[in-house]
Amino acid sequence: MYQIDFENPVHVFFIGIGGISMSGLAEILISEGFKVSGSDRQKSPLTETLISKGASVYYGHKKENLTPRPDLIVYTSAIKNDNPELAAGKELNIPIITRAQLLGQMMKNYKMPIAISGTHGKTTTTSMLSCILLEADTDPTLSIGGIYKEIGGNFRLGKSDYFVTEACEYTNSFLSFFPKIGIILNIEEDHLDFFKDINDIRNSFHKFAKLLPSESDGGALIINGDIPNLEEITVSLPCQIITYGSSSYCNYIPTDITFDEFGHPSFILTKSDGTNEGSYSLCVPGLYNVYNACAAIVAAKLLGIDNNIISKALSDFNGTDRRFEYKGKVNGFSIIDDYAHHPTEITQTLKAAKNYPHKTIWCVFQPHTYTRTKAFLSEFAKALSLSDKIILADIYAAREIDTLGISSGTLQEEIEKLGHECYYFSSFEEIENFILKNCTKDDLLITMGAGDVVKIGENLLRK
């Protein structure tokens, strides 16, 4: 496999350069003196940023974009074999690696690479740990799977030994990484267009954990102790294993959890021997964020960061884009946007919403991919029923073409079977008009999904 050398900058072409992770990697290479070019389907703030930093960006995928000939091509799992640039690269015998392989190679350039994995919560936990490291003046390099306003995007280039990144399990991307500290937040069924079943997923997380070096070499796994059959994931690992969670046998347990009027939690982190490890207050809502914070706190303690710094950083942390993000008010009702697109995430978000000021909770949900919608149809219906009233948009197909005979209308039927009020509209304009007629003062509207459903709230704020 081609090995990138920071001491010998070359010309790298990114297929899908506007992706949240790809754009960050492109920025790292630009800052290291590499010539960077790439393509994407359409213009975006991320591609505009890259152009301002010196990258050449093409819109639309064409083999002509490989002129002048690059020394290396990087592509994402969303790119298919019939992509004209990928096909042309193979014909021209240009070295080709995946985004994950490039990220893994970059990690080798840092003495303390930290990778945060899990079915849910990766972006928030990565951002929480990033916030702590920034507060501690450690000057870390950061690669986040979402926009973190404190660093002005999804990437930050530092000059220290710290490198923090998300580690996504989809297509086994995280198995190309070389972390010294790994975090596993949770393990659930998802990405069933790639994985066979939950056992296949658990096996991948076990392989990820096995990438960590031995405890004598500084390797450590921080893992949610509430994961079922935890020993299957941790068996035969040479690294240090640190658990956190609600179970009494975990090394760290959040206790005395309370919520303020906006659903923001406060808690005490307690060690298994009863030692008080500090009190923490968050400015992001929900019980799930208590456990995200626990993972970040344990990692920071492992790095020797002072507890006062950790506490201050978390109290100042206001979240990332599209994670229970307050967008504004229209006609007296509040608009929140959230990235939740899995039944567990929806459940957690709507439970958090119940602690947020509201008269009626409206959830506008855009299902993400036909595969996920079909696999979790009944689970989606049950999770969404935590909202008082539900509005469905069309399924966001993403990389998929086959509808599998499923639609948002199918999900609407499942929700209505449970006796809940649910509406379905095929266009955003219809949804926006319905909301303006039916949402009233002091209601809470949540736009939810991994597609472009965020536009609905933004359009309402412009009207």
**Cα distance between residue 365 and residue 334, in whole Å:** 16
- Span 192-212, mean pLDDT? 97
pLDDT of 280 > 90? The answer is yes
166 counts as catalytic: yes
Position 78 scores a pLDDT of: 78
Angle between helix 454-462 and 428-438 (nearest 10): 60
> Catalytic: which of 49, 119, 123, 373?
123
Q: Are 294 and 252 in contact (CB under 8 A)?
A: yes
Residue 393 has pLDDT above 80, yes or no: yes
Residue pair 142/367 in contact (Cβ under 8 Å)? The answer is no
Does the pLDDT at position 111 exceed 90? yes
Residue 228 has a pLDDT of: 97
Length in residues, the chain: 463
Give the active site residue among 47, 85, 122, 345: 122
pLDDT at 80: 86
Q: Is the pLDDT of residue 109 over 90?
A: no
Tokens (6 digits) for 103: 């990220």
**Tell me, what's the pLDDT at 282?**
98
Burial class of residue 45 (count of CB atoms within 10 Å of its CB; 0-12, 13-18, 19+): exposed
Question: What is the Cα gyration radius of the chain?
Answer: 22
Residue 123 bears catalytic tag: yes
Task: For residue range 337-354, list pLDDT tens digits in order.
Answer: 999 999 999 999 999 999
Per-residue pLDDT band for 20 (boundaries 50, 70, 90) equals confident
pLDDT at 21: 85
- Are 70 and 48 a contacting pair, CB within 8 Å? no
Average pLDDT over residues 56-62: 97
Evaluated on CA atoms 180, 185, 191, 194, the torsion sign reads positive
- Which pLDDT value is given to residue 266? 98
Cα–Cα distance, 329 to 335 (Å, whole number): 6
Residue 260 banded pLDDT, cuts 50, 70, 90: very high
For 408-450, the pLDDT digits (tens) are 999 999 999 999 999 999 999 999 999 999 999 999 999 999 9
pLDDT class of 463 with cuts at 50, 70, 90? confident
Mean model confidence pLDDT for the chain: 96
- Place 126 in a pLDDT band, splitting at 50, 70 and 90: very high
For residue 399, pLDDT beyond 90: no
Query: Which of 9-18, 72-81, 213-222, 253-262 is least confident?
Result: 72-81
Q: Enter the pTM of the model.
A: 0.90
Candidate list 85, 135, 166, 277, residue with the active-site label: 166
Q: Is the pLDDT of residue 77 over 80?
A: no
pLDDT of residue 420: 95
Average pLDDT over residues 119-135: 97
Whole-number percent of the chain with pLDDT over 70 = 100
174 touches 213 (CB < 8 A):
no
The model's confidence at residue 286, banded by pLDDT at 50, 70 and 90, is: very high
| Tally of CB atoms within 10 A around 453 | 25
Which residue would you say has higher pLDDT here, 459 or 153?
Answer: 459
* Mean pLDDT along residues 33-58: 96
Residue 205 pLDDT level (bands cut at 50, 70, 90): very high
Q: At what angle do helices 20-31 and 45-52 cross, to 10 degrees?
A: 10
d(CA 408, CA 384): 13
Q: How do residues 311-320 score in pLDDT, each as one tens digit?
A: 999 999 999 9
